[in-house]
Structure 1
Amino acid sequence: MSFRFDCLDERERERGISRAAVSVSEGLLVVLPTDSAYGVGTDAFSHEGIALMAQARGRRQAPPVLVAHGRTLDGLATGFNSGVRDLADAFWPGGLTLLCKHQPTLTWDLGDGSGTVALRMPLHPVALRLLEKTGPMAVTSANRPGTEHAAVPLTYEEAWAALVTTADVYLDAGPMTRTELSTVVDGTDSSRPPRVLRVGAIGLDALRAVVPDLDTSAVEPAPDRDPEPHAEPDSDPDGDPETDPDGEPAGTDSEAAR
């Protein structure tokens, strides 16, 4: 049996977030709104929850991890330089996904064994309130790739059609307005400037205003060369850009919950 809570109603929203937090702590799945789509998530440290999420979506791919506070970056990631920290301070919460090496002491298994994690702080009050209660959550798009419900869900009804009772709690915040995918920046090499892997909600000019020596070679052709296809991250926090909740990378070169 699944529970739906109308998050447009203040009292029901708080009850729903509290119930969802309990479900997350038990390694169950919850559907929540992110910046522009509905995602399905669980405790990032729950092996059972991660396995259940992979089963629900019909594939095993490292999901992105959403956090409630910028300070969480230091607890989850390592080996990044001040440029990565500056970008997080400037653009979190919002459309920025940071690909980082994860702390080697963390007891999680996100699925790809790459030693990296895609981190993002979503700009949605319901998501942030839930994350404050649960801590880091692995979140990906609330759909089933390769099925009739493969489109990124913008409403509770679309998420329900894809997952039905697989999710324990649905936090219904009304229709989402799909926006650009998040910008993805690779911060795994502390000896080099942060490297842009995908340009999305945050443009290059805004990024350069914070980190002037930003590496944009993956998304901008050299002046004397013809344009080449953009490089994509290796793991996707949303899974594939077309099928994951904010379409971002989640492990190495792809993204996490949009």
Structure 2
Amino acid sequence: MGRIYDCTVESEYTAGLRLARSAIARGALVVIPTDTVYGVAADAFNPEAVQKLLDAKGRGRQSPPPVLIPGIPTLDALAQNIPQPVRDLVAAFWPGGLTVILEAQPSLAWDLGETRGTVALRMPSNTVALDLLAETGPLAVSSANRTGLPAAIDAIGAEEMLGTSISVYLDGGVAGLGYEPVGDRAGDTSSTIIDATGFDSNGTLRIVRNGVITRGAIEAVIGDALAPARVTPVASGASVDTDDDAPTDAATGDDRAATG
């Protein structure tokens, strides 16, 4: 069973970060805190590691994980055809609780699952996550839970669900405390997900999951470039696991896997 390292203790943080980096390098899984919930992390460029992540969660390739990145410059390395409104949103809300679905760079040698040529990207606002990302580069990260269970908001909760499938647990305290729970469900501190893949055809970005960055805050930045809210959710053209930061509805088993 993976050991839990208390990142508030300097010696444990140093050891945990070193072992987490080593685990990622050999294709193993690590649980890390983010600013929203805890996540299961794998090397985004190692298909076997990504498959381990999906297996640990009990998910299929039709729900590929989002990718966390260490900084805004990485955006252009992983995505193409980035519209100006996305750049404006990134400047306003990264690091933080905004995930953006974009067209992936076609030259990338990775296999995240059935992405339909897209990638969901986010720069988290969490020191532990950013420190690890600075050493490993982009990580495929999905919420730390088994499918059908709520996402863990602490390391103990993650360990109870994921157990020996994880090599290292980094404990950064309770996640999500910096946000108001204004997502689609009660107590939901998930990231807001914006789909930008239709911008070239319709000139707008679409919210495909409501989260900690509100519609009003987004409209204040990009105005009419944000598509009107839909009363009935419509499936996105992108296919990415939306449960990267989202607690699942345990009553229904709904993982909100509409996109990233």
Structure 1 equivalent of residue 184 of structure 2:
none
1:19-71: per-residue Cα shift (whole Å, max 9, x none)? 10111111110000111321111010111101111111112220011011011
1:125 Cα deviation (Å)? 0.9
Correspondence list, 1:123-134, <5 A: 123-134=125-136
1:158 Cα deviation (Å)? 1.2
Contact 2:204 2:227 in 1 (8 A): no
Contact 1:196 1:214 in 2 (8 A): no
Structure 2 equivalent of residue 243 of structure 1:
248
Amino acid at match of 1:230: P
1:139-176: per-residue Cα shift (whole Å, max 9, x none)? 11111114xxx221122111111111111110011223
1:204 Cα deviation (Å)? 2.4
Question: TM-score under structure 2 normalisation?
Answer: 0.84
SS of equivalent residue, structure 1 residue 208? helix
Structure 2 equivalent of residue 156 of structure 1:
155
Question: TM-score under structure 1 normalisation?
Answer: 0.85
Gaps of 5+ in 1: 221-227
Gaps of 5+ in 2: 182-188
Give the 4+ runs in structure 1 shifted more than 3 A. Answer: 230-234, 239-244, 247-250
Structure 1 equivalent of residue 52 of structure 2:
52
SS of equivalent residue, structure 1 residue 42? strand
1:213 and 2:213 matched = no
Contact 1:39 1:141 in 2 (8 A): yes
Structure 1 equivalent of residue 33 of structure 2:
33
Structure 2 equivalent of residue 112 of structure 1:
114
Structure 2 equivalent of residue 9 of structure 1:
9
Contact 1:64 1:248 in 2 (8 A): no
State the distance in 2 between where 1:229 and 1:184 align: 16
Structure 2 equivalent of residue 71 of structure 1:
73
Contact 2:37 2:190 in 1 (8 A): no
Contact 1:65 1:237 in 2 (8 A): no
Structure 1 equivalent of residue 173 of structure 2:
174
Contact 1:20 1:30 in 2 (8 A): yes
Q: Which has the higher helix share?
A: 2
Structure 2 equivalent of residue 135 of structure 1:
137
State the distance in 2 between where 1:181 and 1:232 align: 19
Equivalenced residues, count = 240
State the distance in 1 between where 2:115 and 2:137 align: 22
Between the aligned residues of both structures, percent identity stands at: 42
